[in-house]
């Protein structure tokens, strides 16, 4: 395991179904929304919370009324029936609309060590529908260096505060060039073609617990909160799974 890596996962309970390595990764999760502001589900109706034994572990996005996209590292090792997806909530303490999971689908070439293709599609037990619940379209936008993406989540508001935020929060951060990001992470990991970086602006970033949540550009889902080092550290922007890199996988998974 690479030292100091955070996986954005707030859940720190030993689950027997997980491998020893998976448990180690969870228990060593350290900080990634910092410097953002509170928002409501009315502004992000596609946002869902993933739970295990009613404990919040990660965020996710509703692609259709039956399918959710999240990060693979959030759900790898769990059985579908151990997961609950909660939608239509601003606060984690709200009951919301709850659905079970019948399938967890990961890319065949997902790598839990490098976070290559860190994405997972979840099929819900029943359709998730309500007035304040919306779906989000997969990315087909083209962006440029310096464009801003919007992140949503219930993660830590500081690297030093280990509990999740009860209230949904959002932050807007700029894209960071691949070459620059690769240089910043050269001692920590590889920024592959399935990833992009964003952040490094006046203490704004995603944080632990935001994993699996959306990175939105011009109203479309263009990234998934994946990994990084610390929270809002100027030398380490957040790293996200590129939706364009896993779009074919997502579309095929929703046909299974």
The CA distances from residue 156 to 9, 85, 91, 169, in Å, are 10, 20, 14, 10
Classify residue 131: in a domain, yes or no: yes
Please check whether residue 125 is in contact with residue 99, taking contact to mean a CB–CB distance below 8 angstroms.
Answer: yes
Asked whether residue 174 falls in the same domain as residue 216, the answer is yes
Does the active-site annotation cover 147?
no
Please check whether residue 207 is in contact with residue 31, taking contact to mean a CB–CB distance below 8 angstroms.
Answer: yes
Confidence of residue 249 (pLDDT cuts 50, 70, 90): very high
Asked whether residue 99 falls in the same domain as residue 59, the answer is yes
Asked whether residue 128 falls in the same domain as residue 222, the answer is no
- The active-site residue, picked from 30, 211, 226, 242, is 211
pLDDT digits 0-9 by tens, 158-177: 444 445 568 999 989 999 99
Residue 5 CA to residue 207 CA, distance in Å, equals 12
Residue 222 CA to residue 234 CA, distance in Å, equals 23
Q: What is the pLDDT of residue 245?
A: 98
pLDDT digits 0-9 by tens, 116-174: 999 999 999 999 999 999 999 999 999 998 899 999 998 655 444 445 568 999 989 99
Stated pTM of the model: 0.83
Asked whether residue 129 falls in the same domain as residue 173, the answer is no
- The active-site residue, picked from 6, 8, 73, 116, is 73
- The active-site residue, picked from 118, 164, 208, 242, is 118
Whether pLDDT at 15 is above 50: no
Does the active-site annotation cover 43?
no
| Residues β-bridged to residue 58 | 50
Classify residue 24: in a domain, yes or no: yes
Does the active-site annotation cover 165?
no
Whether pLDDT at 6 is above 80: no
Cα atoms found within 13 Å of the Cα of residue 70, Cβ hemisphere only: 34
What's the domain range around 68? 5-30+45-135+247-253
Q: What are the residues whose beta carbons fall under 8 Å from the beta carbon of 161, sequence distance 6 or more? A: none
Asked whether residue 116 falls in the same domain as residue 191, the answer is no
């Amino acid at each position: 395991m690479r030292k100091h890596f955070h996986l954005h996962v707030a859940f720190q309970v030993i689950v027997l179904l997980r491998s020893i390595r998976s448990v180690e990764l969870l228990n060593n999760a350290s900080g990634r929304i910092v410097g953002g502001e509170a928002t409501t589900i009315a502004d992000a109706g596609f946002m869902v919370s993933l739970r295990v034994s009613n404990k919040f572990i990660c965020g996710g996005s509703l692609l259709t009324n039956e399918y959710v996209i999240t990060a693979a590292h959030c759900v790898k090792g769990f059985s579908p029936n151990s997961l609950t997806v909660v939608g239509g909530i601003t606060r984690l303490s709200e009951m919301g609309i709850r659905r079970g999971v019948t399938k967890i689908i990961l890319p065949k070439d997902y790598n839990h060590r490098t976070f290559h293709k860190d994405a997972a599609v979840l099929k819900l037990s029943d359709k998730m529908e309500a007035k304040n619940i919306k779906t989000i379209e997969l990315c087909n936008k083209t962006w440029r260096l310096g464009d801003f993406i919007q992140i949503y989540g219930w993660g830590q508001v500081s690297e030093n505060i280990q509990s999740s935020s009860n209230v949904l929060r959002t932050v807007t951060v700029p894209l960071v060039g691949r070459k620059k990001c690769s240089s910043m992470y050269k001692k920590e990991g590889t920024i592959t073609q399935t990833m992009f970086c964003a952040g490094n602006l006046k203490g704004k970033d995603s944080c632990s617990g935001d994993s699996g949540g959306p990175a939105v550009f011009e109203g479309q889902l263009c990234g998934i909160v994946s990994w990084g080092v610390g929270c809002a550290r100027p030398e380490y922007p957040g790293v996200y799974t590129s939706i364009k890199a896993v779009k074919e996988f997502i579309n095929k998974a929703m046909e299974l």
